[in-house]
Amino acid sequence: MSKKAKIETLDNVTIRFAGDSGDGMQLSGGRFTQTSAIMGNDLSTLPDFPAEIRAPAGSLAGVSSFQIHFSSQEIHTPGENPDVLVAMNPAALKAHLKDLTPGGTLIINKNAFTTKNLKLAGYESDPTEDGSLEDYYSAHFIEMSKLVNLACEGIDLAPKLIDRTKNLCALGVLFWIYDRPLEPTIDWLNKKFKSKPDIVDANVKALHAGYNYADTAEIFTTKYIVNKAKLPAGKYRNINGTLATCLGLLTAVEKSNLSLTFAGYPITPASNILHTLANWKRFGVKTYQAEDEIAGIGAALGASYGGSLGVTASSGPGIALKGEFLGLAIITELPLVVINVQRGGPSTGLPTKTEQSDLFQAVYGRNGEAPMPVIAASTPGDCYYTAYEACRIAVKYMTPVMMLSDGYLVNGSEPWIIPNPDDLNDFDAEFVKENLTDEQYLPYKRNEETLARGWAIPGTKGLEHRIGGIEKQDVTGNVNYDSDNHEKMVQIRARKIANIANELPPTEVFGKKEGDLLILSWGSTHGTCKSATESLLSENLKVAHVSIRWISPLPNDLKDILSNYKNVLIPEINTGQFRQIIRAEFLVDAIGLNEVQGKPLGASTIVAKAKEIINER
């Protein structure tokens, strides 16, 4: 029997789905995201995976989670403390309860609170029985396993498979609470399990079971409405950073009439780039799983030498291995794009968590005077534009380019206006034409404006020439150990990269054009810094936010911008690497806000720090 529920409208909700790795939390989160996107909310998501592939079921190490922040306003972060926590077992409750907002909603799968699971999670008494939760949260203990078993009676599936549908039961409960339609999920299930009608049937029944339970049970009295957000007009889809990166690469080669060769070696969280591109052979994309990261970059560089656009991707440890090849790409002046999906370090560190600690590695991590452009993506969707720009600059200036991304960006998602590739910067790639004269080809002759040398690919008549890692004579490209020539070449290579700054668009300043505090960010802290700035501006504080895309070279107008504020705050998920660069470059006494917790910064931390600076200085 349906009851009459109270209806309340909210601007913002953050939900965290947490459960055992096998509980399907990523799927529940993904479906809630897709439905909310279709309903027109702005949103931002953050999955969190355990490092172990098959941690013992029910253990703390095996907890996987997915957070979604959705809103009727524009938002920039996946949210901090969730308003709702779905905990599918005791370990998930133990791991995440501390983050739940006081008074928040707890939705628990009661059937998973067995003696064994409680012990695995380290509970001495059952929190669903001892009354420890109800005083602080609006706690709902639902027998999800039992519900789905009843709902799926008569379906010819193993009990284990039936039990697995409880993630859809949980989703059904949330769909009722936030008044969302079930159809998009049902359509999706039908497509996904086309050949397994029993599985579709069981999952759909479980979804309804959850929805109906919330509808009839007395415990849920209020439905919440989160209205459409006023987003810029356009055609939207939801996108994560991995897909955006791959689409950016494909757009670059399509617009430049180049072919794409991607070579890499599996590593979390970069592997999905390889997996995605491997499915795009029909668009002419060649992918190659090499024997290690060195071979990955070597093959990518070899492909670029051959006239394809070589791209490789890895994470910190793999990027460390690629270092020597970056030097070769710099001295041979060949285009190459290297994507670093940063994770917690050093060494294996926190392989599934996000961090911004490879900035020095990207900017400085090579032997010799080895300048290289470094570009950082700021949101999952921005990975598209960043990857495109990385390719364009690599080809235009004949240089390797490093694109910095991170675990949060590649796995996080947001609604995204589908771009029109025609609106992007021009991208013409040209190879040196064949030479039918008797004159020797001069491989190190340069374009006067960009200082780039020509892209002369094997197979072209009359351009036979030799390149390599030994210092080359200016213009002729012959091996040359002369000290003056070396110094000249070092300077030319530096100038070529510095020149890129001349074509960068004016840096966007969000907020006051001058004032007490500039919040300066790079990479994925963009969203948090922007949210924090919005909140500070709403309190009439004289603050602004600048998000840096090109870290090497830095934009020419940054110096003036910095001088317009009394203080500069640089929040980073590292111990202050960008701050050191800014201090060294501009002699600005920038202040850091640094956390290395393997997760995005919280906007409230930045707001607090900003106020402290404004009040004290």
Partner 1 sequence: MSDKPLLKKADFQSDQAIRWCPGCGDYAILAQTQKTFPQITEDKENTVFVSGIGCSSRFPYYMNTYGFHTIHGRAPTIASGLKIANPDLSVWLVTGDGDGLSIGGNHMIHLLRRNFDINIMLFNNRIYGLTKGQYSPTSEQGKVTYSTPMGSLDYPFKPTKLALGAEASFVAKTIDKELKHLQAMILRANEHKGTSFIEIYQNCNIFNDGAFAKLTDRDTKEEQLLRLEHGKPLIFGIEKDKGIYLDGTTPKVVKIGDEYSIDDIVVHDEEDRFIGDMLANFTESEEFPEPVGVLYCKERPTYDSLMSAQMDESQKGSKSSKGLNELLNAGDTWEVK
C-beta of 312: minimal distance to partner 1 in Å? Answer: 10
C-beta of 72: minimal distance to partner 1 in Å? Answer: 13
Is 280 an interacting residue with respect to partner 1 (CB under 8 A)?
yes
Is 427 an interacting residue with respect to partner 1 (CB under 8 A)?
no
Q: CA torsion 152→155→156→158, rounded to 10°?
A: -10
Is 72 an interacting residue with respect to partner 1 (CB under 8 A)?
no
Task: Write out the binding residues for partner 1, residues 521-580 only, by CB under 8 A.
Answer: none
Is 129 an interacting residue with respect to partner 1 (CB under 8 A)?
no
Task: In whole angstroms, give the CA distance from residue 605 to residue 608.
Answer: 5
Is 294 an interacting residue with respect to partner 1 (CB under 8 A)?
yes
The residue among 343, 287, 336, 285 whose CA lies nearest residue 314 is 343
Of 129, 179, 430, 464, the one binding partner 1 (CB under 8 A) is: 464
User: For residue 371, how many other CB atoms are within 10 A of its CB?
Assistant: 20
Question: If 0-12 CB within 10 Å is exposed, 13-18 middle and 19+ buried, where does residue 548 land?
Answer: buried
Residue at token pair 């599985």: 199
Of 144, 162, 299, 519, the one binding partner 1 (CB under 8 A) is: 299
Is 73 an interacting residue with respect to partner 1 (CB under 8 A)?
no
Number of residues located near partner 1, criterion CB under 8 A: 71
Cβ-proximal residues to 546 (8 Å cutoff; 6+ apart), any chain? 507, 508, 509, 510, 518, 519, 520, 521, 558, 561
Task: In whole angstroms, give the CA distance from residue 523 to residue 403.
Answer: 10
Is 463 an interacting residue with respect to partner 1 (CB under 8 A)?
yes
C-beta of 286: minimal distance to partner 1 in Å? Answer: 6
Q: Is 115 helix (H, G, I), strand (E, B) or coil?
A: helix
**Three-class SS string for 81-101?**
CCCEEEECCHHHHHHHHHHCC
**CA angle (556 as vertex; 586, 536 as ends), nearest 5:** 70
x/- binding map, residues 391-410, to partner 1, per CB under 8 A? --------------------
Is 290 an interacting residue with respect to partner 1 (CB under 8 A)?
yes
Is 136 an interacting residue with respect to partner 1 (CB under 8 A)?
no
Is 251 an interacting residue with respect to partner 1 (CB under 8 A)?
yes
Q: Strand 286-289 vs strand 336-342: parallel, antiparallel, or unpaired?
A: unpaired
When the beta carbons of 90 and 307 are compared against partner 1, the nearer one is: 307
C-beta of 64: minimal distance to partner 1 in Å? Answer: 23
Q: At 285, list the tokens.
A: 């994309």
Partner residues linked to 310 by β-bridges: 261
C-beta of 277: minimal distance to partner 1 in Å? Answer: 11
Is 319 an interacting residue with respect to partner 1 (CB under 8 A)?
no
Of 49, 66, 137, 288, the one binding partner 1 (CB under 8 A) is: 288
When the beta carbons of 148 and 250 are compared against partner 1, the nearer one is: 250
Q: At 408, list the tokens.
A: 């949060």
Please answer whether residues 261 and 457 qualify as being in contact, where contact means their C-beta atoms are separated by less than 8 angstroms.
no
Is 231 an interacting residue with respect to partner 1 (CB under 8 A)?
yes
Of 142, 263, 274, 610, the one binding partner 1 (CB under 8 A) is: 263
Is 368 an interacting residue with respect to partner 1 (CB under 8 A)?
no
Is 445 an interacting residue with respect to partner 1 (CB under 8 A)?
no
C-beta of 95: minimal distance to partner 1 in Å? Answer: 31
Could you tell me which stretch among 119-127, 337-345, 417-425, 552-560 binds partner 1 (CB under 8 A)?
Answer: 417-425
Cβ-proximal residues to 57 (8 Å cutoff; 6+ apart), any chain? 20, 22
C-beta of 483: minimal distance to partner 1 in Å? Answer: 18
Burial pattern 310-326, b for ≥16 Cβ within 10 A else e, equals: bbbbbbbbbbbbbbebb
Question: If 0-12 CB within 10 Å is exposed, 13-18 middle and 19+ buried, where does residue 143 land?
Answer: middle
Terminus-to-terminus CA distance in the chain, angstroms? 62
When the beta carbons of 430 and 514 are compared against partner 1, the nearer one is: 430
Task: In whole angstroms, give the CA distance from residue 316 to residue 356.
Answer: 10
Of 116, 458, 563, 612, the one binding partner 1 (CB under 8 A) is: 458
x/- binding map, residues 92-121, to partner 1, per CB under 8 A? ------------------------------
Of 5, 10, 22, 38, the one binding partner 1 (CB under 8 A) is: 38
Is 238 an interacting residue with respect to partner 1 (CB under 8 A)?
yes
Of 283, 475, 482, 503, the one binding partner 1 (CB under 8 A) is: 283
Is 321 an interacting residue with respect to partner 1 (CB under 8 A)?
no
C-beta of 428: minimal distance to partner 1 in Å? Answer: 17
Question: DSSP letter string over 247-258?
Answer: HHHHHHHHHHT-
Please answer whether residues 82 and 13 qualify as being in contact, where contact means their C-beta atoms are separated by less than 8 angstroms.
no
